[in-house]
Amino acid sequence: MEIIVHRGTHQIGGCATEIRTKTTRILIDFGAELPNEDGTVQDDILEIEGINGGGAICDAVFFTHSHGDHMGLLEKIPPEVPAYMSVLSKQLLLTLHTRIRSPLIESLHRVQVFTPLVAISVGDIRIIPIPTDHSAYDACMFLIEADGKRILHTGDFRLHGFRSKSTKKILKKHVEQIDLLICEGTQLSRDGAITQTEHELQADMRQIIRENKYVFAVCASTNIDRLASLHNATPRGRYFLCDAYQRDVFHIVSEETKSEYYRFQKALVYGKNLPIRERGFVMPVRNNAFFRNIMGEYLSTGKVMLIYSMWEGYLNMPGMGMADFVRPFAESGNFIVAHTSGHATVDALRQLHEWLPCKWILPIHTEMPEKLEVLFADATIVNLEDGMPFSLS
């Protein structure tokens, strides 16, 4: 079995990892580049044989989750190449791209869905989706078996979210022994950063909501854990408001989950006929004119707070417009950052290796893969360059 990381050995995002035998080729993720520091996105020129380049057609593409840096190049995959993602990923993406009338819709309709923990065989490669904890609610790792070897591809994961305990149980029960760990290392370049758990962040948000009658929260529409924290921290008597698109997202999630925590039963679509000024509210918002107009009505009340709950780097990207969006609240002192990462801490990487000791570790989705050599002295760290093959024998 051979592994080629087409992109991701020395960068975060834009992921694409090929795994192949003598007769079968699959790709794990085919992601778009993340924005540059100025907020612009460069033209994506990644070409992979059998996908958007010449040569023999790839046998299948599997997506770990719905974030654009992992599935953003979906439309470049030829119709004859099967693509797989989770049911929830497909539904959420269809909802978003239908709303924005994106050309990606046609490709999304062709996508096949997998069921967590149910194996899919492609040629002589067997793939088992393993549910994991990440800021994308539907994220999966992949256990890949071929040529008598077993690989775990983590995709993006963490162990400080609401599903960290279940991640551990599932891994110990369904994965057991592996030969190679293909592991994200996003936070290896963020030395000294303190990473809150989702439970700690939820407590902070509950306090902020208690102290402010009107609360807006800048949050990704698919960061379901964060939105559930906001929803469930909204006290009785106050409204939890959103727009129609966000309510559709909540409905999709509540239909798919078995947990009462993600039901979003209090969520109402914003309307001027609701007595929201009298009773108060919590409202997740996004950077657009619809929310900007609503937020402007409450800025002078003195009882308002804007929670920023996204990666702080977006605030420094001029092309994103995020700094302008939050500036009126930041300048008036009605602004607070309350966020935690969707990615594994260094301690989480150590825990994962303790649970699943293996001979080789291949770092991806990281700017500093060499740091793993210090963390894991008992394993061989496979430091590759993009496009360089590694033979697992």
pLDDT tens for each residue of 140-153: 999 999 999 999 99
Residue type, 68: G
The β-bridge partners of 281 are: 214, 239
Does position 39 have pLDDT exceeding 80, yes or no? no
Q: Does domain 2-191+342-391 correspond to CATH entry 3.60.15.10? A: yes
Sorted by where each begins, the domain ranges of the chain are 2-191+342-391, 198-337
Q: What is the mean pLDDT of residues 252-276?
A: 92
Percent of the chain with pLDDT over 90: 85
Q: What mean pLDDT is predicted for residues 270-291? A: 94
Of the candidates 353, 10, 9, which has an alpha carbon nearest to the alpha carbon of residue 18?
Answer: 9
Q: Calculate mean pLDDT across residues 322-336.
A: 96
Which own/partner contact pairs does 388-393 have at CB distance under 8 Å and 24+ positions apart? 388/4, 388/5, 388/9, 389/2, 389/3, 389/4, 390/2, 390/3, 390/4, 390/362, 391/1, 391/2, 392/1, 392/2, 392/3, 392/147, 392/149, 392/151, 392/179, 392/180, 392/360, 393/1
Q: What percent of the chain has pLDDT over 70?
A: 98
Average pLDDT (297-319) is 91
Give the span between the Cα atoms of 205 and 211, in whole angstroms: 10
| Among 87, 104, 13, 28, CA closest to 59 | 28
| CA–CA gap between residue 170 and residue 173 (Å, rounded) | 5
364: left (phi over 0), alpha (psi -120 to 50) or beta: beta
Task: Tell me whether domains 2-191+342-391 and 198-337 share a fold.
Answer: no
Fold of the 198-337 domain: Rossmann fold (3.40.50)
Whether the per-residue pLDDT at 337 is higher than 70: the answer is yes
Cα separation of 230 and 208, whole Å? 10
Q: What is the pLDDT of residues 354-378, one digit of tens each?
A: 999 999 999 999 999 998 888 888 8
Look at strands 25-28 and 335-337 and give their pairing.
unpaired
What single DSSP character describes residue 53? B
Task: Give the mean model confidence (pLDDT) for residues 212-239.
Answer: 96
Reply yes or no on whether the pLDDT at 2 is more than 90: yes
Residue corresponding to tokens 């989480």 = 348
| Predicted pLDDT at 232 | 96
pLDDT of residue 189: 83
Average confidence score pLDDT of the chain: 94
pLDDT of residue 373: 86
List, for residues 110-141, the tens digit of each pLDDT value: 999 999 999 999 999 999 999 999 999 999 99
Residue 257: its pLDDT value, please?
A: 87
pLDDT of residue 31: 95
Integer CA distances (angstroms), 307 to 140, 214, 304, 329, in order: 29, 11, 10, 10
Is the Cβ–Cβ distance between 164 and 158 less than 8 Å? yes
Average pLDDT over residues 82-87: 97
Q: What is the mean pLDDT of residues 64-77?
A: 95
User: Is pLDDT at 38 greater than 70 in this prediction?
Assistant: no
Residue type, 251: H
- In this structure, what DSSP letter does residue 64 have? S
Residue 106 pLDDT: 94
Count of beta carbons in the 10 Å neighbourhood of residue 29: 28
Parallel, antiparallel, or unpaired: how do β-strands 267-269 and 239-242 relate?
parallel
Q: Helix or strand or coil: residue 380?
A: strand
| Residue 42 pLDDT > 80 | no
Q: pLDDT value at position 21?
A: 97
What pLDDT was estimated at residue 191? 67
Average pLDDT over residues 160-184: 95
Phi, psi of 224 (to 5 degrees): -65, -40
One DSSP character per residue, 169-196 reads HHHHHHT---SEEEEE-GGGG-TT----
Give the global pTM: 0.95
Supply the pLDDT for residue 375: 85
Looking at residue 176, its pLDDT comes to 84
Residues sharing a CB contact under 8 Å with residue 323, sequence separation 6 or more, in sequence order? 315, 316, 317
State pLDDT tens for residues 188-210.
987 666 899 999 999 999 999 99
Q: Write down the pLDDT at residue 62.
A: 98
What is the secondary structure of 219-286 as a DSSP string? --TT-HHHHHHHHHHSPTTSEEEE-HHHHHHHHHHHHH---GGG--TTEEE--TTS-HHHH-EEEEE-
How far is 133 from 252, CA to CA, in rounded Å? 19
